[in-house]
Structure 1
């Protein structure tokens, strides 16, 4: 399935956050970070907005033409960063300062993120609930993976649910073997994809 997409910019920020909030509202990790439903509705968009701002500033956001799906990508260079990533602390400060889980999820995933090779990092992909199951998310991801294959670049992500892990496995990603175990919460699965040989 081909997906008509365009590159999102700052004018699309609120739309991108809205799509992600809907797509991830019932995600196991979002439920762990914000266990109370009413509170999650109040702060979840602020939390996800940090990811959107990072992708707008440092990466790319692919937006489905009808505004119902988004994919956030970052290009990660090889080598361990010299400075600590400020994003986890910013997630907590921006969304919910009293909630240490806002920061902890970023620190735990950051600790297992591979840095030995440059790669494309799928920060997140979200599809509006009414359009899920149509293959839209896979189509959005495949556009970047095709470029990765042409350029010989690997890709990386963390799956936040068993369902998403299955999708990523169908796209050629492989579980790295060490899950991120959120304390008293769900698992996340770091996954890597080698570029396909032409």
Structure 2
């Protein structure tokens, strides 16, 4: 009977620890994603902004993935935070839906492949699809997205977005650079974690 109580307490403790890690790293991810995506306010760099996000967020994501025990649940909540933030900022239900789907896929990747490099790397690549989807409404709801952007940006920037929306290729580039950024960032994160985080006990 004592074993059952001990096991239940341990499970409760790990759940609390997982939820704390989700809150900390989700907040960090949102801040880093917005800062690194700010290069997209330069019209010529719009399609490269997702690559910047993938590159900058890979190290904290690797650390997050390595620390949580309930991979699927934690990734769902993590991405749910991001999707909710986007929804509140006017992105609509599509971004929230994509975020939850990406969270599920990233969690499954960690569950199936484990917390070795393959699992962390795959989950990081999958998660890049979430941040890369922030501009998807420019193609799925063009007029609404442009109207939303007019409230924050000048006419020249909005005109550049309208020009991008006339072809699907910029959207392909946005996702491609997002994946590329996460790809390169994944290898950088592996080196940093091996050299520093594992040495001081912050990662397994």
Q: Provide the TM-score with structure 1 as the length reference.
A: 0.30
Higher RCO structure (Cα 8 Å, ≥6 apart) = 2
Which structure has more strand as a fraction of its residues? 1
**Larger-Rg structure:** 2
Q: Provide the TM-score with structure 2 as the length reference.
A: 0.29
